[in-house]
Chain A
Amino acid sequence: MKRRESTIEPMPISLSPPAPVMSPVHQGEATHCPYCALQCGMYVSGGIGEAAGGTLTITPRHDIPANAGGLCQKGWTAGELLTGGVRLTTPLARASRTSPLVPVSWEEALDRIAGAIRETQARHGADAVAVFGGGGLTNEKAYQLGKFARVALRTSQIDYNGRFCMSSAAAAANRAFGMDRGLPFPITDLAEADAVMMVGGNVAETMPPFLRHLNNALIVVDPRDTRTARQATLHLRVTPGTDLALALGLLHIAITEGYADQDYIAARTTGFPAVRESVAAWWPERVERITGVPVARMREAVHLLGGAGKAMILTGRGAEQHSKGVDTVTAFINLALALGLPGRAGSGYGCVTGQGNGQGGREHGQKADQLPGYRRIDDPAARAHVAGVWGVDPDELPGPGRSAYELLDALGTDGGAKALLVFGSNPVVSAPRASHVAGRLAALDLLVVSDFVLSETAAMADVVLPTTQWAEEHGTMTNLEGRVLLRRQAVAPPSGVRSDLAIISALAARLGHDEGFSADPGTVFDELRRASAGGVADYSGITYERIAAETGVFWPAPSQDHPGTPRPFLDRFPTPDGRARFLPVEHRPVAEEVDEDYPYYLTTGRVLAHYQSGAQTRRVAALNEAAPEPFVELHTDLAEHLGVASGDLVRVSSRRGFAEAVAKVGRGLRHDTVFMPFHWEGANRLTNPALDPVSRMPEFKVCAVNVERAGSQPSDRGEDA
């Protein structure tokens, strides 16, 4: 892996005189951070043109509860994305697969795309054109992309990178509660909890201001001593891929020690007896052998949760990105239900959504099986409603398509798509078994990427469309609480770029749809409100004006005089009988166990300075300085055994590929596990695309690898090239 040279100027944010952090004075345009699902409020002031002096200042907002005046380094430096010289400002295209990308006009680029779409669909059918979206897109874009696929392209082949993030937690919450709203309570409720259990989440790196909301006992379940784990009251250092067994053991203990809340179970749930019987087979000593977590620590965790007046259980990708992610989350929801937590103020279960609009992005139809308002695409009533808003015959709407990895895996094959439009995603870095995915992309007749930087995926494209980004456009984002926020435009976009909405509008027009694809975010949002009306995620009562006045509105908000719903489960659960559902689940082994050839577990994750595939943050000088390159974290004893010291280049290989990165040796993780961050190309060449049977989530969080010094005998075990 090459060390990336930074070619961008230092950020033009003034440090001196210091920005008055606590000042109540209006600091500029009130908007939100471009990165994670916390969607910290920030002011952007100054401008990027010469008239404005070329400086942009970012300061945190105090009126947004999620950050309440805090920002991490990613947020503070986000202005560099607006001013740096790495922006794409003209469409690019290549004449053939072997030709270089060269600037072309918008007309030429759009005509070429529309022509290729028509030709591909004429030869291979509507499903030969696919769309791949992203969880960072605004609600307006996510909605419009889904509509564009179903109405203009008439393809079933649309999915998005949120499949790789939130799908397991979403499926588990839907089947237990009848609703998937990440945190079904305001984030400020966390401060009231006497104990919080965080399973497979490292918020200290991924969304640092989140920690400001934690006041009391914190239990962290993680194979690594993450920054979050180091701040925990109790850290359960679980074997990768065994969180499900741990949850079953914790519930076993909770029941036998009398922590099950019988009154709550009787009044608010169904299905407890079957779950109680199923966990009778998961006594703690058995679970200890599978998870490596000592029985005594499990009991401590249950005592902390069960003895707390108010408690919360939260899951992150560490628990969810598995081929059994849905059942793992279900097992933790079962624990939460047995303790009587969900639907009580100050208590509950929640998942910590990752991407900026990871919540809204999973509600409005860029998912293969979904229509706006969190409706199912195979539900006739949902189809009729949405078709009505869209002015089409319900029978014309395609059915469910392939999930993200399956869609990518099929590209260029007989049954798969031949053309792909990518918006706001970088699957060459972020998809599992990434070398194979890159190979599938190369097999396409047409790859179109809309992005504001030349990401690794954009660099492979036939046509690249330069688009506007966060503070250059209006749009709504739904943060990890389910609070719909207004991300305002703060600066003018550079000349030459167009918004995704404008791109979709122009393509739709070329495909014969002059109407129905507005480029104006407000118009699109109003249509989204109508399309979502009556759905689980009902936005019909939410307007830009309300969001501005109320600093965010919690969905569902079915009418403009409805106050929004901060805590949707207080009185009843949105299931047919109003009760939450216990579901028995069983532990099963990881998809790929360690063996003699691949004797160590690989787990992947994030570092503070970078976001997702790093396409944005790797182009910010201060973040590159803080975390300049990928690394392999391994235990001191393993390093000793391998003859590796910190700073040495090591090669990590799996059945799917290999990656090289510098070693970071320490005692912060288990002896049998190595860790790699996935913000650079490399980690995902190794990961396993084994899918969860329900959510179709790949098993990002554990696979079997070998580790050796780079330059020693190269391993050749028939890996993917």
Chain B
Amino acid sequence: MKLVVIGNGMAGGRLADEVRARDKDIDMTVFGAETRRPYNRVLLSNVLAGTASPEQVRLPAQTEGVTTRLGVTVTAIDPESRTILTDDGGREPYDVLVLATGSEPVVPPIPGATRAIAFRTMDDCHRILQAAATATGAVVVGGGLLGVEAARGLAGRGMPVTLLHLAGHLMERQLDPEAGLVLGEALTGLGVTVRTGARVTAIHAHGVELATGEILASELVVLACGVRPLVSLARDAGLEVNRGVVVDDRMRTSDPAIYAIGECAQHDGTVYGLVAPAWEQAAVVADLITGADRAARYRGSRLVTRLKARSVELASMGEAHLTEDPAEAVEVVRFTHRARGIYRKLVIRNDRLVGAILLGDAPTVGTLTQLYDRGGQLPGDPAGLLFPGLEHATPADSPVRMPDSARVCECNNVTKGRIRACWEAGARDTAAVAAATRATTGCGSCRDAVEGIIGWLCEQEEEVRA
């Protein structure tokens, strides 16, 4: 079988890995428009921030038994002859074709938009960093996930950054208004000027013009206005295209020999812009085309968004926008402490976690993510899920309050009562108690407690005498 993959990004590269892991013999050719080796796009904002080097985000290249054609653009698909055409005049036949063409950044239709740098690829990243080296400040247009990460990253390099966002609050797809507000305040504290409800009308050589007429001077303008699936190849080939290339639960397009995965695909009405769904889709397609599991189906993904920005911990998952709604059995648990940049919100339906926002340090983020992923049942009182400290609060083990039955030395199963009895029989220091009871002779960690109990007993004795 001859497999052709269009796209060598995180979806296409993953598919090649998954196929190769299942079948060593399939003839596979991967076309990639970018000339560099695959890299982890998820971590580009870390490169922008300087917390990762380009070398550190490079992914292993699948080379064994894969023909990789980098820098070659596919210009057309002919489903009739099962052939693709490339810009170097080549033709490549296929038995199975997988589209992993990804998406392109949205560039707003405003004058001067080409003066700005859209943030999407490693090349974009290098261009932004080159400009940042001499710029005195930066404006980031778009306050979604990528825009916030870019703004935080550039601010971390020590330059003043203004983040402009059209909607009323940041990351409105993942956050409710209050969380957006707290996030904005956290960013402000890190050197990012946040302006929401800001409409950009033009980009000039030395600044950005807003609808109010105000001009923000800046030599560096970064666009993070969202992405658009790359579907023209599919559309020209006559495949069904909506916002993305429409696929079924097998990730098949309207042509059964052609699959689509990742950001170019639209499954059950949804185009996913995150890597986890793309990888789940790649595994399903690899199962199907290698025959490893012909029953494999993709049923949609649960979305967890995790902001990658130094000093800003943010996780958002599921139906995080919902508000209390008894009619729909929606319960909301919230805790806010704006001054410390903390906002925690759980959205619960039928004892299951269906959404959450965790902003600021959240020790339970892992637990909550897993409860959301698995649809696990929540406890009747979910407070412990927001404040794990509550779970572990135990009364201090002071010698006074400890009952006689309390085990002081675990290693030798010695209770406070036995230490007291030993003391009453004349033992007045730790060595004597240890000799009689063996307390402290194991791991040694109860030494302080034993000394405390002996000291307290001696004090009591002195008080009685006095």
Contacts and interface: CB of A to CB of B under 8 A. Distances in A.
24 contacts: A18-B435, A60-B441, A70-B443, A72-B411, A73-B413, A204-B410, A204-B411, A208-B442, A208-B443, A274-B60, A276-B56, A278-B60, A280-B56, A281-B60, A283-B308, A289-B366, A289-B369, A294-B363, A294-B365, A294-B366, A594-B374, A609-B413, A637-B380, A672-B376
B313 interface: yes
B365 A288 contact: yes
B445 A296 contact: no
A608 to B, nearest CB: 6
A277 B313 CA distance: 26
B445 A70 contact: no
Interface in B352-366: 361-366
Interface string A252-283: 00011100000000000000001011101101
A60 B438 CA distance: 11
A293 to B, nearest CB: 5
Interface string B34-57: 000001101100100001110111
B156 to A, nearest CB: 14
Nearest to B380: A640
B43 A283 contact: yes
Most central of B362, B365, B380, B384 by chain A CB within 10 Å: B365
B442 A289 contact: no
Interface of A: 15-16, 18-22, 60, 69-73, 76, 203-205, 208-212, 225, 227, 231, 239, 255-257, 274, 276-278, 280-281, 283, 285-286, 288-289, 291-297, 584, 594, 608-609, 622, 625-626, 636-637, 640-641, 667, 670-672
A640 B435 CA distance: 43
B436 interface: yes
Contacts of A637: 379-380, 384
B304 interface: yes
Nearest to B61: A277
A71 B380 CA distance: 44
A257 B51 contact: yes
B442 A73 contact: yes
B366 A15 contact: no
A209 B443 contact: yes
B377 A641 contact: yes
A672 B373 CA distance: 13
Given A71-B441, A205-B410, A211-B443, 19 more contacts: A21-B431, A72-B411, A73-B413, A73-B438, A204-B410, A211-B444, A227-B410, A255-B56, A256-B56, A276-B55, A283-B308, A288-B306, A289-B366, A293-B366, A295-B306, A625-B413, A640-B379, A671-B371, A671-B379
Contacts of A636: 379
Contacts of A278: 60
Contacts of B55: 276
Contacts of B443: 70, 72, 203-204, 208-212
A294 B55 CA distance: 25
B432 A670 contact: no
B442 A70 contact: yes
B59 to A, nearest CB: 5
B276 interface: yes
A411 B80 CA distance: 59
Contact of B435 (A20, A71, A281, A286): A20
B330 interface: no
A312 to B, nearest CB: 18
B185 to A, nearest CB: 19
A131 B53 CA distance: 55
Interface string B433-466: 0111010011111000000000000000000000
B341 to A, nearest CB: 13
A73 B373 CA distance: 44
Interface residues of B, number: 53
B64 interface: no
Interface string B239-275: 0000000000000000000000000000000000000
A671 B351 CA distance: 14
B130 interface: no
B391 interface: yes
Contacts of B306: 285, 288-289, 295
A15 B436 contact: yes
Interface of B: 39-40, 42-43, 46, 51-53, 55-60, 276, 304, 306, 308, 313, 361-367, 369-371, 373-374, 376-377, 379-380, 384, 391-392, 410-413, 431-432, 434-436, 438, 441-445
Contact of B369 (A231, A292, A672): A292
B301 to A, nearest CB: 11
A281 B40 contact: yes
B52 A70 contact: no
A289 B304 contact: yes
A19 B410 contact: no
Given A285-B306, A297-B363, A280 B436 contact: no
Given A255-B56, A297-B363, A285 B308 contact: yes
Nearest to B367: A292
Contacts of B410: 204-205, 208, 227, 608
Nearest to B440: A70
B367 A211 contact: no
B377 A295 contact: no
B313 A296 contact: yes
A502 to B, nearest CB: 35
Contacts of A19: 435
A277 B434 CA distance: 54
B367 A671 contact: yes
A234 B343 CA distance: 24
Contacts of A73: 411-413, 438, 442
A209 to B, nearest CB: 6
A605 B404 CA distance: 29
Contacts of B371: 671
A291 B373 CA distance: 12
Contacts of B431: 21-22
Nearest to A238: B366
Contacts of A16: 436
B244 to A, nearest CB: 23
Contact of B51 (A210, A256, A292, A297): A256
A239 B304 CA distance: 18
B444 A239 contact: no
Nearest to B372: A289
Q: Which of B57, B313, B438, B445 has the most CB of A within 10 A?
A: B438
Contacts of A71: 438, 441-442
B412 to A, nearest CB: 5
Given A277-B58, A288-B366, A641 B51 contact: no
Nearest to B435: A18
A617 to B, nearest CB: 13
Contacts of A608: 410-411
Contacts of B369: 288-289, 292
Given A670-B367, A671-B376, A672-B376, A18 B442 contact: no
A544 B306 CA distance: 61
A554 B360 CA distance: 50
B207 to A, nearest CB: 34
Contacts of A15: 436
Contacts of B364: 294
A212 B445 CA distance: 8
Contacts of A205: 410
Contacts of A239: 370
B413 to A, nearest CB: 4
A277 B60 contact: yes
A286 B276 contact: yes
Nearest to A274: B60
B412 A76 contact: yes
A286 B391 CA distance: 26
A256 B445 CA distance: 37
A209 B43 CA distance: 44
Nearest to A599: B376
Contacts of A208: 410-411, 442-443
A383 B403 CA distance: 63
Nearest to B373: A289
